[in-house]
Amino acid sequence: MKYPSPSISGLKTIKKVSVKDQTLEQLKNYILSGVVPLGERLPSERALADALGVGRYSVREALKVLEAVGLVESRIGEGTFLTTNTGASFGRILGLSLATWGGTIIELLDARKMIEAAAARAAAERATAGQIEGIRAELEAMRANMDRARAYLKADMNFHRRIGEASQNAIISQFVSNLIDLLEEALKEAHSDSLPAQAEGGGTHQAIFDAIARGDADAAGDLMRDHIQFSSEVWQTVISLAADTEGESTSSDD
């Protein structure tokens, strides 16, 4: 006798969470718990890795994200320290309505990862000498404005626009430009000078430019994908922190 299969419509797919994501969440909560005083040094990467039961690479990558959002500061030869503004409201970084727009920012970054990785690959194969010089000029503008967040951000956005143009595909170039325009619109409300403008993950602007300049399409695409993935992780952390601090504020008001 055959029995009808029961409905499984009520079940939801279990999301896979990477070790790095779990490490980032644990370290963020550890820092916000107040166990380590502001301005004091965190335990070493090895000690944190041992306590979490993960590799040092996962800890190192998580600390890069936390440094990008301003929670910690890495000092060469000394270690990683909590910044003195850790308790600041991250709602101020995002802006009041931008905090609720966080999902859209992540979606924008996800779209950029898909499209700009392909644009970087094409640029490595097709860019003219003049276009490569245009990308280099924006890279130099970023270097010249490391301590001026707004000017740095403008050069950063233009760096990505120039790569879109160098793809030699008008539709891809327009897609990239439109995505950058949307992101800039979203960030107008943000206090972008509250975040370290020069914070980068493994796919740095310099590495992306070098891959395009030498015509290495595979490296250019992979590095661009890594670069935007790091940006996405930074924003997800900022949005999470904004939600955490907002929740604490609401609880204290009660």
Q: What is the pLDDT of residue 91?
A: 47
Q: What is the pLDDT of residues 19-29, one digit of tens each?
A: 877 888 888 88
**How much of the chain is helix, strand and coil, in % rounded to 5?**
65, 5, 30
Rounded alpha-carbon distances, angstroms, from residue 14 to 6, 8, 11, 39: 20, 14, 9, 39
Beta carbons of 137 and 109 less than 8 angstroms apart? no
- Domain locations in the chain? 30-82, 103-192+203-245
Parallel/antiparallel/unpaired status of strands 72-75 and 79-82:
antiparallel
CA distance 194 to 149: 9
Rounded alpha-carbon distances, angstroms, from residue 109 to 49, 116, 119: 29, 10, 14
Q: What is the pLDDT of residues 97-152, one digit of tens each?
A: 555 555 677 788 888 899 999 999 999 999 999 999 999 999 999 999 888 878 88
CATH class of 30-82: mainly alpha
CA distance 41 to 36: 8
CA distance 111 to 99: 20
Q: What is the pLDDT of residues 174-229, one digit of tens each?
A: 899 988 888 777 766 655 555 555 667 667 999 999 999 999 999 999 999 999 98
Q: What is the pLDDT of residue 238?
A: 74
Cβ within 8 Å of residue 186, ≥6 positions away: 98, 101, 104, 105, 108
Q: What are phi and psi of 15, to 5 degrees?
A: -75, 135
Beta carbons of 89 and 95 less than 8 angstroms apart? no
CA distance 67 to 31: 12
Position 96 confidence tier, pLDDT thresholds 50, 70, 90: very low
Q: What is the DSSP string of 106-123?
A: HHHHHHHHHHHHHHHHHH
Rounded alpha-carbon distances, angstroms, from residue 97 to 102, 107, 193, 196, 212: 9, 17, 18, 22, 37
- Residue 74: both structure tokens together: 């890495």
Query: What's the CATH fold of domain 103-192+203-245?
Result: Four Helix Bundle (Hemerythrin (Met), subunit A) (1.20.120)
Would the pTM of this model clear 0.85, i.e. be above it?
A: no
